[in-house]
């Protein structure tokens, strides 16, 4: 017999299968219970989490994979392995790659970003797929000539933290292996290391760099590398024997949804897509300048709360306010960074454990689920 509550269900379609999509799904279920029916559409069948992506490029680390069908069905939703190519806000329906159309009451776009090559002549750090570039850098460090290794990032940066993790890990290798040596420098458009996280966190990272012998050049944007020099904007250059850069990030476009010049979706402070009514977006695909899991899940929670308020006829929820907290992986273990020392219970538990990969994503609803599925309870 059909549950009477199902007759009044609002159908929510989530496009994407990453951290923001999963957090939005779990938050919606927590806020609305059976008042929502949730369908998730994503081109991949699993959610892949790489908490140690930087050291994966050195042949270390671990990969956590979670079947999306298991996670979604566990929360009472339905997972569909399909690519969404368009959204029709006027008729409230999505269009799948095979041409099928699916109606919705609300839609959440959480498709994430794609990475693009950005500095001509430089190696691009793609994460786990960068072993060839890492090997090239390590071979250069074995030359005995103390090569100048420059690590850099584009402007806008999106998410600069991996370059600091990479630099610290690379520097640690020179202390462990006498055959490796290099002059390591970070070239950044930031005014200070991880400046967005506040002075306390930035000073902490600056101290780590100094203790590891890593140079830092601020307010500098890379342009191209060649003939032993990294040219920078507007008209300068830096001597270098090898340059490795983070990629440029752009949003994943879906027809029918507004995007800015970089492919990111403009949203208001409640996650509603500008100019639309029942269409929301969260995570790295929106036009918020910094891209990282803690922001993505926080945005997803606001979107879920906004949809829940609309369904119940309540006033809009509080606006999204980012928590500038992150975990930077160092050779000595994880270091928790933030504007202050007001850490949540989740942070304290992770700190006491030393390192819980499933909790590197700070999602109020997602982190406990990933911890349980990873067998880390």
Q: Which domains does the chain possess?
A: 4-112+252-324+357-373 (3.50.50.60), 116-248 (3.50.50.60)
With a cut of 70, say whether residue 5 has pLDDT above it: no
* Rounded-to-integer distance, Cα 34 and Cα 30, Å: 9
Q: 58-62, 143-147, 179-183: which range is least confident on average?
A: 58-62
* Rounded-to-integer distance, Cα 96 and Cα 8, Å: 26
> Which residues, at least 6 apart from 151, have a Cβ–Cβ distance to it below 8 Å?
163, 166, 167, 170, 184, 185, 186, 187, 243, 244, 245
Q: Are 244 and 148 a contacting pair, CB within 8 Å? A: no
Share of the chain above pLDDT 70, in %: 90
Count of CB atoms situated within 10 Å of the CB of 147: 18
Residues linked to residue 113 through DSSP beta bridges, in sequence order: 251
CA 117, 119, 123 angle in degrees (round to 5)? 75
Residue 122 token pair: 């430089």
Output the average pLDDT for the chain: 87
Centroid of chain to Cα 164? 15
Q: 101-105, 120-124, 154-158, 242-246: which range is least confident on average?
A: 154-158
Q: Check: pTM over 0.95? Answer yes or no.
A: no
Q: Dihedral sign for Cα 364, 365, 368, 371, please.
A: negative
Residue of 196 and 352 predicted with greater confidence? 196
Q: Residue 360 class from Cβ within 10 Å (0-12 exposed, 13-18 middle, 19+ buried)?
A: buried
> Which residues, at least 6 apart from 144, have a Cβ–Cβ distance to it below 8 Å?
181
159-179 mean pLDDT: 90
355-365 mean pLDDT: 62
Name residue, tokens 């006829």: 313
Centroid of chain to Cα 175? 30
Residue 366 token pair: 């997602």
Res 333: pLDDT: 74
355-360 mean pLDDT: 48
CA 122, 127, 129 angle in degrees (round to 5)? 85
pLDDT band at 340 (very low <50, low <70, confident <90, very high): low
Name residue, tokens 């980012």: 322
The tally of CA atoms less than 13 A away on the side-chain side of residue 347 is: 16
């Amino acid at each position: 017999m059909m549950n009477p509550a199902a007759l009044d269900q609002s159908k929510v379609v989530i496009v994407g299968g990453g951290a923001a999509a999963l957090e939005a799904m779990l938050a919606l279920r927590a806020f609305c219970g059976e008042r929502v029916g949730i369908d998730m559409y994503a081109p991949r069948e699993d959610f892949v989490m790489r908490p140690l992506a930087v050291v994966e490029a050195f042949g270390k680390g671990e990969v956590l994979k979670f079947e999306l069908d298991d996670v979604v069905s566990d929360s009472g939703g339905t997972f569909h392995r399909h690519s969404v190519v368009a959204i029709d806000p006027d008729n409230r329906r999505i269009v799948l790659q095979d041409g099928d159309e699916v109606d919705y009451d609300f839609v959440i776009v959480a498709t994430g970003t794609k990475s693009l090559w950005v500095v001509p002549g430089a190696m691009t750090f793609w994460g786990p797929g960068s072993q060839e570039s890492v090997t090239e850098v390590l071979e250069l460090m074995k030359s005995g000539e103390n090569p100048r290794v420059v690590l850099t990032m584009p402007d806008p940066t999106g998410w600069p933290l991996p370059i600091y993790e990479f630099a610290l890990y690379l520097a640690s290798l020179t202390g462990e292996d006498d055959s490796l040596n290099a002059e390591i420098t970070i070239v950044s458009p930031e005014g200070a290391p991880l400046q967005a996280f506040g002075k306390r966190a930035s000073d902490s990272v600056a101290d780590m760099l100094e203790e590891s012998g890593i140079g830092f050049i601020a307010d500098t944007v890379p342009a191209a590398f060649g003939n032993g020099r990294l040219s920078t904007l507007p008209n300068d250059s830096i001597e270098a024997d090898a340059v490795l850069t983070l990629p440029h990030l752009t949003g994943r476009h879906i027809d029918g949804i507004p995007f800015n010049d970089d492919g990111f979706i403009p949203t208001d402070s409640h996650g509603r897509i500008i100019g639309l009514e029942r269409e929301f977006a969260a995570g790295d695909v929106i036009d918020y300048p910094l891209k990282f899991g803690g922001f993505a899940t926080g945005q997803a929670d606001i979107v879920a709360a906004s949809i829940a308020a609309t369904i119940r006829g309540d006033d809009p929820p509080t606006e999204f306010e980012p928590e500038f907290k992150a975990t930077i992986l160092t050779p000595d273990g994880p270091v928790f960074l933030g504007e202050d020392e007001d850490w949540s219970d989740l942070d304290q538990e992770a700190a006491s454990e030393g390192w819980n990969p499933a909790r590197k994503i700070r999602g109020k609803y997602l982190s406990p689920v990933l911890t349980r599925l990873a067998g880390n309870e």
